Amino acid sequence: MNLTLEPRKMRKVAIVGGLRIPFVRSFTSYIRTTNQEMLTAVLDALVKKYQLENKVIGDVAFGGVMNVSSDWNLSREVVLGTKLDPRTPAYNVQRACGTGLETTWQIALKIAAGQLEVGISGGTDTNSDLPVGLRRSAVWKLLDLRAAKSWGQRLALIFKFRFSDLKPAFPAVVEARTGLSMGEHCEQMVKQWKITRQAQDELAYESHQTAAKAYEEGFYSDLIVPFKGVEKDAFVRKDTTVEKLAKLKPAFDKSGQGSLTAGNSTPFTDGAGAVLLASEDYARKNNLPVLAYFVDAEAAAVDYVHGEGLLMAPTKAVAELLKRNNLKLQDFDFYEIHEAFSGQVLCTLKAWESNDYCQNKLGLSGALGSIDRSKMNIKGGSVALGHPFGATGARIVASLSKMISQKGHGRGLISICTAGGMGVAAIIEK
């Protein structure tokens, strides 16, 4: 007997809404606060806002970059610390700065495939609770000591310890294969693409101005929940000017040729965010709002070890996404381009405008073209709002969905660069 299975039709994925705690400078307001504490506060607020108490959610995906070893089951522990039904499953995800978008993509795919009716995504990060460890040399000697069978063996191993073994091993925010930080890599990019210091400072200024205006309009009032006495993002500077930014010294290349500064780069940030997604049927039955729909996403990588720009992978991810969805770069009402550095955003825009780059690197017939900059990061970007590595994707998805909902209809493009020469992009629309 032959059975023919009909292909399952992919369903639309509703973005119900998202929440986050205020983003703050590391080692300040959230000092000695763990990822679990921050993420639990966010999830608890999300549960309360959408009346999810005692409900089983199909799946929960969270992640962070700066993880201590005890956070091996972070997502599940966070769920168990909230008023969700404790039978709600959860798992960890990590794709560097793209983690928050990656978790949303994964939950969206499960809903689209009919495997879930409702799910929660998001991420967190803190530099104020760094995973400081022991050096490998000390760890290996301790393991040998633990396995020793006699006191004589133990004493011999103890005498092998050196003072250098006891030096703490702090996590280095550098690329393991080049030894360079993300900022140092971006310095190479802006020199290659001839991005000026003034252009970078101007973009940073715009980021602060649009963020400040968004706060004045009350845009973030229902997207942020107070945490530890903090009620708004700590970095937004309405009073900054291009002239003030121009006075800051280069932070990465101090040879006199550098152009990336503390003012046009994202600061080290602590924070967390979460997004609620559902099928249309679940949203309707539970009287949940539908702000927008998660349409599609793409990940890409570049060979940064051999010369490609570390943060240029989103150019490839976006190109593939446009091709698959039969869209042009100009077919969007909103552009949310993560501002790891102002210079990285400008390199991305310039690459899309380049015939040579689009033909030789992206395999296209010509340039993707320019975007309308007045539609980019219109409620502030990461330079002004901050960038907790694992949480930025959740911030962007929640904010962009609200923008589209306020407009009544529209389409938004998300582009996020990550460590390791990767990039994640997504389309949201209504």
> Quick count: other Cβ atoms within 10 Å of Cβ 8?
10
What kind of fold does domain 13-131+270-285 have according to CATH?
A: Peroxisomal Thiolase; Chain A, domain 1 (3.40.47)
Cβ-contact 235, 23 below 8 angstroms: yes
b/e string for 228-242 if b means 16 or more Cβ within 10 A?
Answer: eebebbbbbbeebee
d(CA 244, CA 339) in angstroms, rounded, equals 19
Q: Which of 185, 208, 338, 387 is catalytic?
A: 387
**CATH code of the domain made up of 182-218+258-265+296-429:** 3.40.47.10
* Amino acid in the structure at residue 98: G
Q: Which of 186, 347, 358, 417 is catalytic?
A: 417
pLDDT at position 2 over 60: no
* Amino acid in the structure at residue 50: Y
Question: Could you report the per-residue pLDDT of 70-129, keeping only the tens digit for each?
Answer: 899 999 999 999 999 999 999 999 999 999 999 999 999 999 999 999 999 999 999 998
**Cα-based angle 44, 47, 51 (whole degrees, multiple of 5):** 145
pLDDT at position 3 over 60: no
Q: Which band of pLDDT confidence, cut at 50, 70 and 90, is reported for residue 168?
A: confident
DSSP state of 267: P
Q: Which of 97, 186, 347, 358 is catalytic?
A: 97
Greater model confidence, 265 or 136: 265
Topology agreement, domain 13-131+270-285 and domain 182-218+258-265+296-429 = yes
Q: pTM, whole model, 2 decimals?
A: 0.94
Q: Which band of pLDDT confidence, cut at 50, 70 and 90, is reported for residue 69?
A: confident
Q: Average of pLDDT values for 146-169? A: 87
Question: Could you report the per-residue pLDDT of 287-300, keeping only the tens digit for each?
Answer: 999 999 999 999 99
Question: Could you report the per-residue pLDDT of 309-349, keeping only the tens digit for each?
Answer: 999 999 999 999 999 999 999 999 999 999 999 999 999 99
> Quick count: other Cβ atoms within 10 Å of Cβ 292?
25
Smallest CA-to-CA distance from 82 within 114, 41, 29 is with: 41
d(CA 74, CA 61) in angstroms, rounded, equals 10
Active site annotation includes 417:
yes
Q: Average of pLDDT values for 22-43? A: 97
Question: Could you report the per-residue pLDDT of 188-236, keeping only the tens digit for each?
Answer: 999 999 999 999 999 999 999 999 999 999 999 999 999 999 999 999 9
Q: Where are the domains of the chain?
A: 13-131+270-285, 182-218+258-265+296-429
Cβ-contact 418, 312 below 8 angstroms: no
d(CA 57, CA 418) in angstroms, rounded, equals 29
d(CA 218, CA 280) in angstroms, rounded, equals 28
Question: Could you report the per-residue pLDDT of 77-88, keeping only the tens digit for each?
Answer: 999 999 999 999
pLDDT at position 5 is 57
